[in-house]
Structure 1
Amino acid sequence: MEHVVTAQLRTVVGKKRAVRRLRSQGIIPAVAYGPGVEKPLNIGLKKNEFLKIFKHVSESTPLTLVVTDDSGKELFKHLAFIKMVQYDKVTDEVKHVDFYIPEAHHKMRINVPIHVVGKAAGVEKGGILEVVHHEVVVEALPDKVPEVIEIDVTNLGLGETIRVKDVKLPEGVKIDLDPEDVLVTVIVPRGLEVEETAPAAETTEPEVLKKGKKEEEEEEE
């Protein structure tokens, strides 16, 4: 799904009173910068329109940023990512947004969240699922960046792990970690280990005793 964010070029910059006036008019001040733009663009976002989109996106969601002038003429259109969001300390409302404009056809590095799906088989047996990395740095072309990395843990048993090398990624996408780094694991509680090993000891002991008894009978004969 394409997310289009429309913004208007902003001429008022740095003046607190003027910026407060913008916010009172339902405009969120923002800036767009990065290697894909010659110089930073000071823009304004219509609060209601932006918040509708903001509910469904994250830092790794590719956006189409369209900037217009006062008359509505399109000045700029480019792939963008939300870099940073500032919130009001009292009301928790969005006060300012930074957009990052990557350079087309050049790989970028960006944080992508990990989304675990399914219930691990090991958890069903009493294990504890531990997500070691809730997000990872991904290297990819801007238009190939995945919104999330989905990891299915359904078949993950007690003491088993999913490492970076085990994750299937889209072509051209690379996780910037060692291939052996653990992403998700099922921890075996100490008490559960004792319960699993105890029966094995009990089954071997009678066999030893039985063998010993047979040897004694042979000696008596």
Structure 2
Amino acid sequence: MATHEINVESRAVEGKGASRRLRLAGKIPAIVYGGELQPVAIQLDHEKVWLAQQNEWFYSSILDLSLGGDIQKVLLRDIQRHPFKQIIMHLDFQRVNANEALRAKVPLHFLNQETSPAGKAADVVVLHELNDVEVSCLPKDLPEFIEIDLANLVVGDIIHLSELKLPAGVEIPELKLGKEHDVAVVIAKHGKEDAEVDAPETAEVPATKAAKKDDK
């Protein structure tokens, strides 16, 4: 598992006014909570976080928050963005315990779709019903992503959640809730099937109304 270290600073003053001043200074107000320690208010450099948040690992990996060399392992649990400006407003991080299982969403990577029989067929549509999946595992086992090899995908194939190849120590909690939760992840079907479903039905004029029009 790759290590991702992010430097943070302590934040003594809280409140809307203080947070506004931090943002004007190029900082992001944030909080770290969870575990046996009390929540701690921190601040991060906006430019560095803005670059980091463009990477997939920022959302699905264990992050090392470094406060003057003191490292706390955390997961990003919430990110608040400005409605239209390229500004991160606030971040929430949750501490993780190395000996306790955690739940986190992990992105799915679809491999070899273009070279598969379904991917090369002109009239076949390959649908990705899910782009990420929630897993449960110890922090050391958390994968940054899960790969799905579609090399042998043909029209008519459906890959379900239970068919994903998970790393050792990783499980999908949703599968324990029953067969109805074993949803489709990938579907390969003819494109014309969608066209037939979406095609509008031609309205028929009832025979009685047609007869009345002819009588006039």
Structure 2 length as normaliser, TM-score? 0.77
- In our comparison, the structure showing a higher alpha carbon Rg is 1
Distance in 2 (alpha carbons) for counterparts of 1:47 and 1:92: 10
Equivalent position amino acid for 2:38 in 1: K
Matches within 5 A, 1:78-117: 78-117=72-111
Identical-pair percentage:
28
Q: For residue 189 of structure 1, report the CA deviation from its aligned partner.
A: 4.2
Distance in 1 (alpha carbons) for counterparts of 2:183 and 2:83: 37
Q: Secondary structure of 1:49's partner?
A: helix
Distance in 2 (alpha carbons) for counterparts of 1:153 and 1:99: 35
Alignment partner, residue 66 of structure 1? 66
Q: For residue 55 of structure 1, report the CA deviation from its aligned partner.
A: 2.1
Per-residue CA shift, 1:137-172, capped at 9, x if unaligned?
Answer: 101111211111111112111101222332221100
Unaligned runs of 5+ in 2: 194-216
**Residue of 165, 171, 175 corresponding to 2:172:** 175
Q: For residue 41 of structure 1, report the CA deviation from its aligned partner.
A: 0.9
Q: Is 104-113 or 119-128 further displaced after alignment?
A: 119-128
Alignment partner, residue 197 of structure 2? none
**Residue of 111, 118, 125 corresponding to 1:122:** 118
Equivalent position amino acid for 1:183 in 2: V
Structure 1 length as normaliser, TM-score? 0.75
C-alpha contact 1:27 1:45 (8 A) present in aligned 2? yes
Q: For residue 12 of structure 1, report the CA deviation from its aligned partner.
A: 0.6
Alignment partner, residue 149 of structure 2? 152
C-alpha contact 1:82 1:98 (8 A) present in aligned 2? yes
C-alpha contact 1:129 1:184 (8 A) present in aligned 2? yes
Distance in 1 (alpha carbons) for counterparts of 2:127 and 2:156: 11
C-alpha contact 2:31 2:41 (8 A) present in aligned 1? yes
Distance in 1 (alpha carbons) for counterparts of 2:140 and 2:65: 13
Q: Secondary structure of 1:65's partner?
A: strand
Distance in 1 (alpha carbons) for counterparts of 2:6 and 2:183: 37
Distance in 1 (alpha carbons) for counterparts of 2:137 and 2:53: 23
**1:20 is aligned to 2:17:** no
Q: Is 42-51 or 2-11 further displaced after alignment?
A: 42-51
Equivalent position amino acid for 1:19 in 2: S
Change (3 A) 1:42 1:187: same
C-alpha contact 2:22 2:28 (8 A) present in aligned 1? yes
Distance in 1 (alpha carbons) for counterparts of 2:86 and 2:59: 18
Alignment partner, residue 186 of structure 1? 188
Equivalent position amino acid for 2:41 in 1: N
Q: Secondary structure of 1:138's partner?
A: strand
C-alpha contact 1:60 1:112 (8 A) present in aligned 2? yes
Distance in 2 (alpha carbons) for counterparts of 1:111 and 1:152: 19
Unaligned runs of 5+ in 1: 69-73, 192-221
Per-residue CA shift, 1:89-114, capped at 9, x if unaligned?
Answer: 23131111111112221111111121
C-alpha contact 1:136 1:176 (8 A) present in aligned 2? no
Q: Secondary structure of 1:123's partner?
A: helix
Distance in 2 (alpha carbons) for counterparts of 1:181 and 1:51: 34
C-alpha contact 2:53 2:59 (8 A) present in aligned 1? no
Distance in 1 (alpha carbons) for counterparts of 2:191 and 2:44: 51
Change (3 A) 1:88 1:131: same
